[in-house]
Amino acid sequence: MKVKRTEFRPPPKVDSAVVRIAPRNPPPQINFQEWDSLLRIIFLRKNKTLLSLFKNNQVCDSLEKSYKALCSIKNKEIESSFSMKDKVEHIITESGFALKRARQMDMEDFLSLLLAFNKEDIHFI
At 43 the pLDDT is 92
Identify the burial level of 13 via C-beta atoms within 10 angstroms of its C-beta, where 0-12 means exposed, 13-18 middle and 19 or more buried. Answer: exposed
Helical ranges in the chain per DSSP H:
32-42, 50-54, 57-73, 84-94, 107-119
At 85 the pLDDT is 92
Q: Would the annotation count 105 as a binding residue?
A: no
pLDDT digits (tens, 9 = 90+) for 13-50: 888 888 888 887 887 788 899 999 999 999 988 899 99
Task: Name the pLDDT band for 106 (thresholds 50, 70, 90).
Answer: very high
At 89 the pLDDT is 94
Note whether 124 and 66 are within 8 A (CB).
yes
At 2 the pLDDT is 83
Give the residue from 71, 96, 74 showing the smallest Cα distance to 84.
71
Which CATH number fits the domain 29-119, given the four candidates 1.10.8.480, 1.10.287.4070, 1.20.1300.10, 3.40.50.150? 1.10.8.480
Rounded Cα gap, residues 52 and 42, in angstroms: 10
pLDDT digits (tens, 9 = 90+) for 66-93: 999 988 898 888 888 889 999 999 999 9
Q: To 10 degrees, what angle do helices 84-94 and 57-73 make?
A: 100
- Identify the helix (H) or strand (E) that includes residue 106: none
Domain boundaries, the chain: 29-119
Note whether 50 and 42 are within 8 A (CB).
yes
pLDDT at 114 over 90: yes
For Cα atoms 33, 36, 37, give the angle at the middle one, nearest 5 degrees: 90
Note whether 18 and 4 are within 8 A (CB).
no
